[in-house]
Structures are given as C-alpha cells and as structure tokens.
Structure 1
C-alpha cells in the first residue's frame, strides 16, 4: 500500500532513561545528524532526491565515517532525500532555497530499529547496544496516547526521538488504512469553502464564523510579558518565559483543535465531500515577523482539519488565492473598490453586500468547484455548500428545500454593517 493510502497520527511520550542510556542516546543523535548531513552533501552535489538512489550513493560513506548501524544509515539517507526533494519543489515554484542542514537533536526509528512492548517499554537501537526504556504515560487512562497504543486498528510506523531540556521524547508514529471510500465524481462533489483570516480565524461558505481575536490578544499579552522578563535577564526569568511559552502553545493548540472539530462538523452537517482552503504558501514565506503567529495558527488549523478529514473520507484541496477577497461572489466582478473596509464587502457593479470573509469563503469554494469540473471534463453539477442551499455552475442557487434535504446548522453571524449581507449571499 502506498504511503499516501494511510491515515497517520503521532503520540508524544517522554522516556524514563538512566544516565548511561542517556549517553548512548545522545551519541546516537549526534552520529545520526552527521550521517544525515553526509547524505545531504552527496545528494546536493549529485542533484539526487530519490531516496533509494541517494542510499546507493551515500550509504557506504556514512557507514565508514560514523558508527551508525545499517538501518540508521538508510534512514539518514531517506531523510536527506526528503529534505532535498523539498528544496526541488521550492525551486520549481520560483521560491528561495538553500542546501538543507540537519541541526536538530533528533533521530528516526522504524520497525528495524525500535520495538514497542506490551509493558509500555520500548527498545531503541543506538550506536552501541540497544537500550530499553519505559514510556512515561499519563496516569489518567483517558490520555490520548492509549487510543493508539492499545488499539489493534493502528500499527506502529516510523517514529522520531527528540532530546529537549535534558529529557527525551519519542514521537511514536502510527498509521491505519484510509477509509475505503470511492472518489466522488465531479457532479456529486459538495464543497465547503473556508477563508482563514485574523479578525475571524476561519469563516465557511455556510456562514459559520470562528473568531480569532481571543488567541491574538493572549499572544500579544504573552509577548508583552516576555519582553519585560527578557529585560530582567535572570535565569529565573528565562525559566518563566519557557514555562509561559509552553503553556500558551498548549492552550493555543487546544483552541485550534476545537475550531477544526467545528469546521469538520459543518462539512459533515452539509454533506460535503471536499473542503477548500487557499494555498497561502507564498504569502506565508513573505509574511512579516509580526504576523508569524497568524501564520502558525493558520498552518496548525489546516493541519488538524487535513488529518481529521482523512479519517472520515473528506478530501482537503487548495486553490489559487488571487483576488478571492476582491471578487464578488454573486456576479464575479473583481475590483479593489469592492473592499472599502477590512470586514465589509460591497460590489461596485451589482451592489451585493456581505461580510468580507464570508464572501471570500464562497469564492474559495467556487474556485474548487469550477476547477474540479474542468479537470474531470464532465458537465455535472459539482456544488458549493451554502447556509440555505448550494450553488451549482449549471443551475445557480438551489435551496435545500428544492433538493429535499435537511441540514442541521449552528451558524454564528458576526456581520459588521447590516443583515443585508447574509441575505444577499444566501
């Protein structure tokens, strides 16, 4: 089965290690990093990004120059090939790139270098003998790790060991086959468009709004406190910064997880087969530092939606972001003058008014609807999910009452000018 045919999860667990085990793990991490950089240098020199081809070129040199075992030398080659392939993709897109360099204190493990036992211990290959360590799991049996460790449905996959603050964390990889669902033909596709923003973290084409101001406010407060602590400059202040930063990140991840769940609930409630986001890769690359937190929020939200959608057979696709905020969702007229205010959209041609993010969400969804129809070379009715019906390129707006379907929705309206906005965009 191809790697793309699996749903994947990661369960992070701390390891209880002795001082002797820690020394062996540290030595393995250091040598693995050297091996990955050796493979990268060779792959970069020969412009090779296919993993087995790079293995044939770099394997012997890694074994000669490091004490890594055979399988860890292969994993180092594979990881280097993956990094070089990422550079090739950036190059093909006309984006800036440089030769990858491995500096993080990590090492990869697979079924040949790691064994997980029923007594919640794990055996890990090192540059010396194997070490067997205990997994430090939550006392509460509701801890999320147990749903993978105790399940016959999930199988152990490639994992990563990371050293951090004198502790060792094993990012255990698990996988299971994707749901056996046939890809819907174009005329049966129902698309949920989602716009990501700052005032609103996410807005859907079904008029569901997720505010982002609470997270932004909390992040600004953390940055203010961090600045004051940095001026203090004491070791205690440094520890406080780390503690508060970790606490903020955990809270932010939890909030974004819940937002992703509500977005998927919208997709399920409206019978959607696809979710459409803008492809913001290039925009994120050029985003100023003060917006990096927004970038992180959006990236995490998309990541969570992607892997949760895969479990229930919903596909996530990306569309060209150009002019989605300036195009009228009703008549298609595109102009800077349509956006006189950040939160409000009013078409200078047809007079349609709408919340700007809601208008953009519909444009994002419609772009995927039209693209899928074109790609499939069919003339069916791929459709965009709205609050009260769907838009079909061949029929226009069709209400749910006409389609004889019932939709349960929990929409929240946050329109800033008038209720005309919700009526004009159905």
Structure 2
C-alpha cells in the first residue's frame, strides 16, 4: 500500500536510561553520524536513490562506522534522502552543499527497535546486530499522556522512529501509522470548510476566521538571522549555540501551529463541518514566496489539523491549487488583474471586493464541492460553510441560525450570473 493510504503520527516521549546504557547510546549516535557521512561522501554526485546508495556505500558504512547491518541500511537511506533534498534545492535555483551530520540523533525501524506497551519499555539496537539496551518510557498520566492513544491501540502500528539527545535527556520520537477509513461518501454530502495558508495570515477559513502569521513571520526571520551568523562563525561554541537556538525555534513554531490547528478545528465544529479542505501543499513555497521554515510550518500545520480532526470525526482533504488566488469566488472570473496587491482581491468583472486570502479560502472549499458533483458517481451534494450561512454549487444560500454573525460578501452578488462559478 502507498503512504497516501495511511494516517501517520509522531509521539515524543522521554526515556529513562541507565548510565551504562547511556554510554552505549552515545556511541551508537556517534557511529550513526559517521555512517551517514560515509554514505553521503561515497554517493555524492554519484547516485541518489536509496537502493543505489545502499548498493554503493553499504560495505563502507559497515566497515568504517561499525554499525549493525540494518542500521547501515538505514544510514544509506538517510543519506539518499538528504542527497535528493539537495538536488531538489539545486533544481529550484537554491544553494545546497554536501550534507554533514552533527545532530545527536539516530533512526530506528521495527527491526532495530521493539516496543513493549504493557511494560512501558522500548528495546533499542546499539552497536552490532545483537547488542541492545532497554529503556523505560516516561509516559504522563491522564490527559497529558497523549502517547497512550497510539501505544496502547491495536489500530496504530509502529513505524520508523528516531532517538534524540537534547536538554540533558534522551527523547524517542515514535512513529505510528494506520489505514485511512473510507470517508468519501460522507464528505461528498457534507459541509465543507475551506482553508487558505499564507504569510500575512497563517490560516484563513471560508468562514472568515483569520489566524495572523505576522508574529511567526517576524520570528522566523529573526531565527534565520541568528542561524546564519552562527553558521558563519563556525566555532564549536557557536555550533552548540546553534543547536540550542534550533531547539527554541522548533518549540516556538510548534506552539504557534498547535494554537492555529486548534482554532481551525474549533471553527469546523462551530459550523458543523464534515470536511476541512486545504489546497495541495506540493508547490506552496513557490506560490507564496515562503521561506523553508514556512514550508515546514504549512506541512506540520496540515498534519496537526489532520490528526486532531480525525479525533472529532472530521475528515481532511486537499484540492488542486491552480488559480485559487486569482479566481473570483463570487462570479468565477479568473485574471491576474483580480489581485492588485498581496492582500486585496478586486474582481474586474463583477467588481466584488474581498481580502485575497479569504477569497482563496472560499475558492478552495468550493473546488471540493465542485469535485463531488463532477465525480464519476455524481453523488456529491455538499455545501461550503461561510460566515453567515452555507452556499451550494448552484448558488443556493442557507443562513445560519441566530447567533452567527452575517457578512454581506458571503451572499450571492446580484451582478454575478453564477455565484458559485
């Protein structure tokens, strides 16, 4: 089965490790970094696929890094992934030098790691094929113990995970996956919430909820300045400071994304939506002019919304991104001139005016509504959630009950022959 058929989650838990085992883990981390570097140096400008890198570098990794057989394979695959990332950056006209491995981390899979949920322990391979350590999982109790919903569940299976050393402790990033449920029939006949992601506003919904991205944008730029300065210095001290700064940046961004994803879920529940729809994220960096940090943030936000939505019975989908920023959500007319500035949308045909991100959010949601009616089954009968009500593909409008704030731009424009496009 392909990755698209699975839900994936990462659950982070701290480990209790004995002094003797900690020494083994430190040696394993050092060997892992050395193995990845050997594989990259051997395959750089030679090949890029995991199979090719493994074939070329496996024996060197085993000999020079003292890794067990499976960890040597994983190191080759890690090197291939990083080489491919560098090639992709070059293809987009960006600089990318040969990867170097300095972070205290090591990758594990189901052959090199065994989880014992009943004992709240994990067994990890160290140097050699048969050398293992056992560590206790420090799992919080009650609502804070979110890891248990994956560890104790028969629906979620363990996948590739990673061990990290930071802030004086060992942390295991456990990977889980489960098959996606069939939800197409439900979502094709439900209420849709469209979501647009951007720079000025991190997220805007078709119900006119705006989650500001200004603070995140500013702080990502500041982190980038600090990172560039430390990288240029190049001393051992600056490298330690760089790792600390990267950790602070990661925690800050995850907190912002946690609040944003919660806000989107709250909005979906308030308007009784069955599906949350984003535009396809594949080329979002080029479309928005976002930094690498933003691209990562967009992807992480989507994943957070996906797993939080699943917990409340709401599905999450993606639609094509073409012209969502230049198409009028009122009349369907598409032109570059419709968007005179980053923030403003002014249709040159029907003269409708709106915030550009809000207009795009409605287009994204309506594209999913349209897709249901254009499918081979033609069973879709969904509607788009707006701030004041819901609108169907044919332009039918149903106002929300009292207590919801109306907004005139949600209603069909008299000048538009086909309000839904």
Q: Give the secondary structure class of the aligned counterpart of 1:184.
A: helix
Question: Aligned ranges for residues 5-404 of structure 1 at < 5 Å?
Answer: 5-40=5-40, 41-42=42-43, 45-49=46-50, 51=51, 55-83=54-82, 90=88, 95-96=92-93, 101=99, 103=101, 104-117=103-116, 118-127=118-127, 129-138=131-140, 142-178=144-180, 180-184=181-185, 188=189, 191-213=192-214, 250=251, 252-267=253-268, 274-279=275-280, 282=283, 284=285, 295=295, 297-309=297-309, 312=313, 314-322=315-323, 324-335=324-335, 337-339=337-339, 343-370=343-370, 376=376, 384-388=384-388, 390-393=390-393, 396-400=394-398
Cα drift, residue 314 of structure 1 = 1.6
Q: What is the alpha-carbon distance in structure 2 between the residues aligned to residue 172 and residue 149 of structure 1?
A: 9
User: What 5-or-longer segments of structure 2 have no aligned partner?
Assistant: 228-237, 414-418
Measured against aligned partners, the alpha-carbon deviations of 1:247-269 in whole angstroms (never above 9, x if no partner) come to: 67545533432331332344456
- Aligned to 2:162, the other structure's residue is in SS state strand
Worse overlay, 22-31 or 214-223:
214-223
Structure 1 counterpart SS, 2:122: strand
Alignment partners' CA distance in 1, 2:92 and 2:184: 32
Contact (CA 8 Å) 1:272, 1:314: kept in 2 or not? no
Q: Kindly state the Cα deviation for residue 62 of structure 1 after the two structures are TM-superposed.
A: 2.9
Q: Which moved more, 1:67-76 or 1:57-66?
A: 57-66
Between the aligned partners of 2:339 and 2:119, the Cα distance in structure 1 is: 61
What TM-score comes out, normalization by structure 2 length?
A: 0.73
1:171 Cα deviation from its structure 2 partner: 0.9
Shift in Å at residue 225 of structure 1?
12
* Alignment partner, residue 416 of structure 1: none
TM-score under structure 1 length normalisation: 0.72
- For residues 408 and 61 of structure 1, what CA distance do their matches in structure 2 show? 70
CA offset digits 1:204-227 (Å, max 9, x no partner): 12333334456567879999999x
SS in 2 for 1:10: strand
Shift of 1:195: 1.6
Q: Which moved more, 1:151-160 or 1:37-46?
A: 37-46
The 1-side partners of 2:293 and 2:372 are apart by 32
**Given the superposition, is the C-alpha separation of residues 325 and 7 from structure 1 closer, same or farther in structure 2, using an over 3 Å criterion?**
closer
Post-superposition CA distance 1:10-56 (Å, at most 9, x none) = 2222333344433322222222233334445448624534x4x6545
* 1:401-416 matches, cutoff 5 A: none
Q: CA deviation at 1:67?
A: 1.5
Query: SS at 2:184's partner residue?
Result: coil
Q: 1:308 to 1:100 in 2, by over 3 A?
A: farther
State the distance in 1 between where 2:10 and 2:201 align: 29
Gaps of 5+ in 1: 227-236, 414-418
SS at match of 2:46: helix
Q: Distance in 1 between matches of 2:260 and 2:254?
A: 10
Higher relative contact order (CA 8 A, sep 6+): 1
Alpha-carbon separation, structure 1, partners of 2:241 and 2:272? 47
Cα distance in 2 for partners of 1:242, 1:68 equals 25
Deviation (angstroms), 1:63: 2.5
What SS does the corresponding residue of 1:397 show, helix, strand or coil? Answer: coil
How far is 1:86 from its partner?
5.3
Alignment length (residue pairs)? 403
Displacement of 1:151 in angstroms is 4.1
Question: Deviation digits for residues 179-238 of structure 1, max 9, x if unmatched?
Answer: x32533996475432122344332212333334456567879999999xxxxxxxxxx99
